[in-house]
Structure 1
Amino acid sequence: MKKIVYGLFFGDSITYGEYDGVFGGWVDILKRYALQKFHEGNGDELILFNLGIGGETTEGLLKRMPVELAARNCADGNLVFISYGANDLAIKDGAYIVEPEKFKENIKIAVQHAKQFSKDIYLVSILPIAQKIDGVVVGSGKLRTNEEVIVYNQILKDIAVENSLSYIDFYNAILDDKEILLSEDGVHPNEKGYGIMAEIAIPIIEKYL
């Protein structure tokens, strides 16, 4: 009997695929890949849900996560991807939108929610930001720095180790070429950046196909 497995991608606009008018972002690339493999008759069916919401922080995640998980609980198994931090670490009006300690606490709670539905949980790194907006207040009033990206990514890595979870390191995959892999706003990837993210993630989902 073939199994049906659900993959739930929780995240912000980078999960949603904003600024990619070509492929729709890395999660949508994975969705098409999984569907293609299924139609080729290879293995189990993996249905992926893009649950990214632009501008969302871990505070918003915790409000909706239990409901989203319960609504998409598959008897054969679930994969859960948690991809947050780019909005949490932003500073607005002199204060973090979500302070590092609170971010850590929120991610830990999110992991506990996920564990009720899945043994396969992936924490996804925050991407580097472009040089031109590093430490600069942008039109939205938010200020981001690459120093903070490193701090928040370390929190994610530590939680992954503590809970024996997988950590997907998009940060280092993008870092060296970030100026050509990020879109004009300096935060979101462009289609090339999203393509690289998908290439890294495809071997992960192939284990379930």
Structure 2
Amino acid sequence: MKKMMYGLFFGDSITYGEYDGVFGGWVDILKRYALQKYNEGKSNELILFNLGIDGETTEGLVKRIPNEMAARNSAEGNIVFMGYGANDLAVKEDIQMVNPENFKTNILKAVQEVKKYSNDIYLVSILPFSSNVDGVVVASGKLRTNDEVLIYNQILKDIAVENSLRYIDFHSAFLQDKEILLSKDGVHPNEKGYGMMAEIAIPIIEKYL
């Protein structure tokens, strides 16, 4: 018997797919892939929900995740992805949006909520920033540094190990070629970057198809 499972992708504008006018971002590429496999009649039905919100931090995640999980809960199984940190670590007017301690607390709260519905939880790494925006105040008034990215990604890695979750390391994949894979704003991937993220993530969703 084939199953119908849900895949829920929580995150910010990088989950949403901003700056990708061709494919719509990595989650939308995965959506089309899962649908194609189902239409070929070879797989379970895996319905993917892109729940990325532009500018969101883990503060927003904690507020909305109970309702989002309750509204989209497949009795046959759920897979949950969380991609946060690029906004949390940003400094605006000398104040960090969400400091490392609170970031950790928020991710753990979200994980506890998700565990009511699923044990298939993936924490998504923060991407590196382009050298032209590393440590620079951009038009939005936010300042981000690659040093902070390492700190926040380590928090995500530690949470994954300590709670038997999975960690998707997009950061390492981008590091060497980030200037080619990031858009002009230096924060979001371009079409190439989102395509690479999807390539890395396809084998993950394949396990559920």
Aligned CA-pair RMSD = 0.4
Tell me, yes or no, if structure 1 residue 142 matches structure 2 residue 142. Answer: yes
Question: How far apart, CA to CA, are the structure 2 residues paired with 1:158 and 1:112?
Answer: 15
**Residue in structure 1 matched with residue 204 of structure 2 by the alignment:** 204
Supply the AA of the counterpart residue of 2:126.
I
Deviation at 1:43, TM superposition (A): 1.9
Task: Give 5+ residue unaligned stretches, structure 1.
Answer: none
Question: How far apart, CA to CA, are the structure 2 residues paired with 1:200 and 1:95?
Answer: 34
Supply the AA of the counterpart residue of 2:144.
R
**Residue in structure 2 matched with residue 80 of structure 1 by the alignment:** 80
Tell me, yes or no, if structure 1 residue 122 matches structure 2 residue 122. Answer: yes
Supply the AA of the counterpart residue of 1:67.
N
Deviation at 1:32, TM superposition (A): 0.1
Total equivalences in the alignment: 209
Supply the AA of the counterpart residue of 1:78.
N
> Post-superposition, which runs of at least 4 consecutive aligned residues in structure 1 deviate over 4 A?
none
The sequence identity of aligned pairs, in percent, is: 77
Supply the AA of the counterpart residue of 1:178.
K
Deviation at 1:72, TM superposition (A): 0.4
Specify the SS of the correspondent of 2:136.
Answer: coil
Supply the AA of the counterpart residue of 1:85.
G
Tell me, yes or no, if structure 1 residue 20 matches structure 2 residue 24. Answer: no
Question: How far apart, CA to CA, are the structure 2 residues paired with 1:162 and 1:81?
Answer: 17
Task: Give 5+ residue unaligned stretches, structure 2.
Answer: none
Question: How far apart, CA to CA, are the structure 2 residues paired with 1:168 and 1:120?
Answer: 13
Question: How far apart, CA to CA, are the structure 2 residues paired with 1:113 and 1:82?
Answer: 12
**Scaled by the length of structure 2, what TM-score is found?**
0.99
Deviation at 1:149, TM superposition (A): 0.3
**Scaled by the length of structure 1, what TM-score is found?**
0.99
**Residue in structure 2 matched with residue 176 of structure 1 by the alignment:** 176
**Residue in structure 2 matched with residue 36 of structure 1 by the alignment:** 36
Question: How far apart, CA to CA, are the structure 1 residues paired with 2:189 and 2:43?
Answer: 31
Question: How far apart, CA to CA, are the structure 2 residues paired with 1:42 and 1:57?
Answer: 38
Question: How far apart, CA to CA, are the structure 1 residues paired with 2:207 and 2:42?
Answer: 12
Question: How far apart, CA to CA, are the structure 2 residues paired with 1:180 and 1:113?
Answer: 37
Specify the SS of the correspondent of 2:80.
Answer: strand
Question: How far apart, CA to CA, are the structure 2 residues paired with 1:43 and 1:137?
Answer: 47
Residues 19-54 of structure 1 deviation map (CA, whole Å, 9 limit, x = unaligned): 000000000000000000000011211000000000
Specify the SS of the correspondent of 1:131.
Answer: coil
Q: How does 1:153-172 map to 2 (within 5 A)?
A: 153-172=153-172
Question: How far apart, CA to CA, are the structure 1 residues paired with 2:98 and 2:13?
Answer: 17
Specify the SS of the correspondent of 1:75.
Answer: coil
Deviation at 1:168, TM superposition (A): 0.2
Supply the AA of the counterpart residue of 2:59.
E
Deviation at 1:195, TM superposition (A): 0.3
